[in-house]
């Protein structure tokens, strides 16, 4: 779920992109990068690490120009080597840089085509580098020394025909402008806004509205599924619908976990959705555990806070911050590798013992995926002297792999795979466990007044892959390629090979 941003400005963009990436850091904390363009030249900085570490003053000083794109990476394909940090760049045609959020689901086929028909070289195992080369090839096919927006859109229409999966993309075409586009189902989010200045209009396109708000850009609208926008260097905006018009079916997990609560995706407030999730879950708890004595509701920080507070209020039970979060440790779920994830839960969350001692505690989390967090927290609660430990999840059981940009490739790693609620409860060591129902989660996210979205990508909960091209064989290959053990091995090979020294 990387964070992407593109800015066309009337003044230097480096600080604006840096600030936007900082606001999108929760979407990817492994690597960051930025490309800016100045006088026909390009400045690129990317590396592993969080935004504040990747861009030091010495880099910022060199990132010159009024137009640029940025990326905050959570690796979901390839490896987490610095060679796969984004934006990626190819020099022909024009010099194109690209930042991508999501996953392509036909990377292997595309890669072969890129080598054998497009006669291009791919340097890494990243799906985003393949995507960039497909775009570059199709732009090249237009054979225009000076491409018009129509030439660019014509090329992009062919890209849409070739690529499959979930994607939101920003690409800087050096000397011409920024191209932004979203997959045909709108699985991955992308929004744009404008800012009026004395010197003219400025535009920002980003994964989440929060990046626009903070920089003072007025939100224009979400980019529609299958729609492309081109912001040219003269600050004109061009639009083309490249695939048949559809209502977006955004990823339901964005509302559950990925997005910041103050973001609005496809006109649905993430905060409101999480409040509604709390209401629905409280109703289920009352229904199923009506007679249970619960003394205190404790959220598992951070993301579950909004829903947990609502549960406590609805059920008239005290809400307490019984777990203190170390604010300097990132999100656990998007860390690469189970060992580091497990260790970081303990480093990140510490109990306030008297909130647990002799109490019947209801812990609330937004989701239970591998069970890493809940297992550790329940043990902590018991160590702190809790009488009974119940846990409620604002999302249903995650039973299926994700193929559109969340790194959940192997079903065996999912705690709910082939297990019922009682078995999961036993495994995480709780006295009781409740999951939200999928229908309730969907209703919590639907906002009929503000948004036309009625359906979501719910694949991780029900195995229904909306692109229609996901076979058992594909899933088996994905699991074999990207399970935790295999990933560790790949990291070692790639980093020692120094494929792409920076
Ligand atoms: O069952 P698991 O595999 O542990 O995954 C689910 C947990 O991971 C996420 O927290 P994370 O620490 O990533 O981020 P947060 O601080 O935003 O809650 C999520 O909010 C759950 O707490
Ligand atoms: N989380 C994402 O959107 C990742 C983008 C791309 N698949 C990568 O791994 O770099
Ligand atoms: Mg969490």
Atom of ligand 2 nearest to the CA of 101: 3
Of all ligands present, the nearest one to the C-alpha of 435 is 1
By alpha-carbon position, which residue is closest to atom 14 of ligand 1?
A: 331
Contact 101, 27 (CB under 8 A): yes
Residue 101: closest CA among 194, 211, 193, 203: 211
Decide if pLDDT at 108 tops 80.
yes
Decide if pLDDT at 490 tops 70.
no
Q: Produce one character per residue of 321-339: b if its CB has 16 or more CB atoms within 10 Å, e if not.
A: ebbeeeeeeebbbbbbebe
Q: Ligand 1 mean position to 310 CA, how many Å?
A: 19
Convert the pLDDT of each residue in 271-318 to its tens digit: 999 999 999 999 999 999 988 999 999 999 999 999 999 999 999 999
Burial (CB < 10 A; 0-12, 13-18, 19+), residue 40, is exposed
Convert the pLDDT of each residue in 160-197 to its tens digit: 999 999 999 999 999 999 999 999 999 999 999 999 99
The confidence score (pLDDT) of residue 409 equals 84
Atom of ligand 1 nearest to the CA of 325: 16
By alpha-carbon position, which residue is closest to atom 1 of ligand 2?
A: 1
Decide if pLDDT at 430 tops 70.
yes
Convert the pLDDT of each residue in 321-333 to its tens digit: 999 999 888 888 8
Q: Ligand 2 mean position to 335 CA, how many Å?
A: 13
Q: Ligand 3 mean position to 257 CA, how many Å?
A: 8
DSSP-derived pairing of the beta strands 360-365 and 296-299: parallel
DSSP-derived pairing of the beta strands 177-182 and 191-197: unpaired
Kindly state the tokens that stand for 192: 């744009």
By alpha-carbon position, which residue is closest to atom 3 of ligand 2?
A: 101
Q: Is 242 a catalytic residue?
A: no
Return binding residues for Mg(2+): 303, 365-366
Of all ligands present, the nearest one to the C-alpha of 83 is 2
Distance CA 199, CA 217 (A): 15
Distance CA 35, CA 72 (A): 12
Q: Ligand 1 mean position to 333 CA, how many Å?
A: 5
**361 beta partners:** 296, 389
Atom of ligand 2 nearest to the CA of 127: 7
The confidence score (pLDDT) of residue 405 equals 92
For residues 95 and 40, the model is more confident at: 95
| % of the chain beyond a pLDDT of 90 | 87
Who surrounds ion ligand 3 at CB < 5 A? 303
Q: Ligand 1 mean position to 183 CA, how many Å?
A: 26
For residues 151 and 291, the model is more confident at: 151
The confidence score (pLDDT) of residue 500 equals 33
The confidence score (pLDDT) of residue 481 equals 83
Q: What is the mean pLDDT of the chain?
A: 94
Distance CA 229, CA 180 (A): 5
Alpha helices in 55-126 (DSSP H): 57-62, 107-116
The confidence score (pLDDT) of residue 494 equals 43
Report CA-CA distances (Å) from 300 to 29, 139, 369, 375. Answer: 20, 48, 14, 12
**pLDDT band for position 496 (50/70/90)?**
very low
Residues of the chain with CATH 3.60.20.10: 3-246
Of all ligands present, the nearest one to the C-alpha of 131 is 2
The confidence score (pLDDT) of residue 208 equals 98
Atom of ligand 1 nearest to the CA of 372: 4
The whole-number average pLDDT for the span 205-214 is: 97
CB under 6 Å to ligand 1: residues? 257, 300-303, 331-334, 365-374
Residues of the chain with CATH 3.40.50.2020: 265-326+343-481
Burial (CB < 10 A; 0-12, 13-18, 19+), residue 374, is buried
Alpha helices in 446-483 (DSSP H): 459-462, 472-482
Convert the pLDDT of each residue in 319-368 to its tens digit: 999 999 998 888 888 887 787 787 778 888 999 999 999 999 999 999 99
CATH number of 265-326+343-481: 3.40.50.2020
Q: Collapse the DSSP code of 120 into the 3-class scheme (helix H, G, I; strand E, B; otherwise coil) and give the result.
A: coil
| % of the chain beyond a pLDDT of 70 | 97
Kindly state the tokens that stand for 496: 């020692």
Decide if pLDDT at 491 tops 60.
no
DSSP for residue 31: E
CB under 6 Å to ligand 2: residues? 1-2, 28, 73-78, 84, 100-103, 126-128, 405
**Best mutation site among 257, 372, 410 for ligand 1 pocket (most ligand atoms within 8 Å of CB):** 257
Q: Collapse the DSSP code of 463 into the 3-class scheme (helix H, G, I; strand E, B; otherwise coil) and give the result.
A: coil
E-strand stretches of 66-213: 67-73, 88-90, 96-104, 165-173, 177-182, 191-197, 200-206
Of all ligands present, the nearest one to the C-alpha of 331 is 1
The confidence score (pLDDT) of residue 340 equals 79
**Best mutation site among 30, 102, 131, 403 for ligand 2 pocket (most ligand atoms within 8 Å of CB):** 102
Give the CATH fold of the 3-246 domain: 3.60.20
Q: What is the pTM of this model?
A: 0.95
Q: For tokens 């494929």, what's the residue?
A: 499
Number of helices (H), then strands (E), belonging to the chain: the values are 17, 21
Decide if pLDDT at 488 tops 80.
no
Q: Which of 2, 242, 251, 445 is labelled catalytic?
A: 2
**Best mutation site among 25, 300, 323, 332 for ligand 1 pocket (most ligand atoms within 8 Å of CB):** 332
DSSP for residue 150: H
């Amino acid at each position: 779920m990387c964070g992407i941003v593109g800015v066309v400005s009337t003044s230097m963009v480096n600080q604006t992109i840096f600030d936007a990436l900082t606001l999108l850091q929760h979407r990817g904390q492994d690597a960051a990068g930025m490309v800016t363009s100045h006088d026909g030249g390009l400045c690129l900085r990317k590396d592993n690490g969080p935004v504040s570490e990747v861009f030091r003053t010495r880099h910022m000083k060199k990132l010159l120009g009024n137009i640029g794109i940025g990326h905050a990476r959570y690796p979901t394909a390839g490896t987490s080597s610095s060679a796969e940090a984004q934006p990626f760049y190819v020099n022909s045609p024009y010099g194109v840089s690209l930042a991508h959020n999501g996953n392509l689901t036909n990377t292997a086929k595309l890669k072969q085509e890129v080598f054998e028909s497009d006669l291009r070289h791919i340097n890494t195992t990243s799906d985003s580098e393949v995507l960039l080369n497909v775009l570059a090839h199709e732009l090249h096919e237009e054979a225009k020394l000076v491409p018009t927006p129509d030439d660019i859109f014509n090329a992009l229409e062919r890209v849409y025909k070739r690529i499959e999966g979930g994607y939101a993309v920003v690409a800087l075409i050096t000397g011409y402008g920024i191209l932004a586009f979203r997959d045909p189902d709108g699985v991955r989010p992308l929004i744009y806004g404008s800012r009026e200045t004395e010197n003219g209009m400025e535009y920002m396109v980003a994964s989440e509205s929060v990046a626009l708000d903070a920089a003072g850009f007025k939100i224009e609208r979400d980019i529609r599924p299958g729609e492309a926008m081109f912001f040219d260097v003269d600050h004109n905006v061009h639009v083309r619908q490249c695939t048949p018009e559809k209502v977006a079916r955004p990823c339901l997990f964005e509302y559950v976990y990925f997005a910041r609560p103050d973001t609005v995706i496809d006109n649905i407030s993430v905060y409101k959705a999480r409040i509604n999730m709390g209401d629905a879950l409280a109703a289920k708890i009352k229904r199923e555990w009506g007679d249970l004595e619960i003394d205190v509701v404790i959220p598992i920080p951070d993301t579950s806070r909004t829903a947990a507070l609502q549960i406590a209020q609805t059920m008239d039970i005290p809400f307490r911050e019984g777990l203190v979060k170390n604010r300097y440790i990132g999100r656990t779920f998007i860390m690469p590798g189970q060992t580091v994830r497990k260790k970081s839960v303990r480093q990140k969350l510490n109990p306030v013992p008297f909130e647990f001692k002799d109490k019947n505690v209801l812990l609330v989390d937004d989701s239970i995926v591998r069970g890493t967090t809940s297992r550790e927290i329940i043990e902590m609660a018991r160590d702190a002297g809790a009488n009974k430990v119940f846990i409620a999840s604002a999302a249903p059981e995650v039973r299926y792999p994700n193929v559109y940009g969340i790194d959940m490739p192997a079903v065996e790693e999912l705690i709910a795979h082939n297990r019922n609620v009682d078995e999961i409860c036993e495994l995480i060591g709780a006295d009781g466990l409740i999951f939200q129902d999928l229908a309730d989660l969907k209703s919590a996210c639907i906002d009929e007044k503000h948004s036309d979205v009625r359906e979501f990508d719910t694949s991780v909960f029900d195995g229904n892959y909306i692109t229609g091209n996901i076979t058992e064989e594909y899933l088996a290959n994905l699991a074999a390629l990207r399970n935790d053990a295999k990933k560790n091995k790949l990291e070692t090979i790639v980093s020692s090979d120094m494929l792409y020294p920076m």
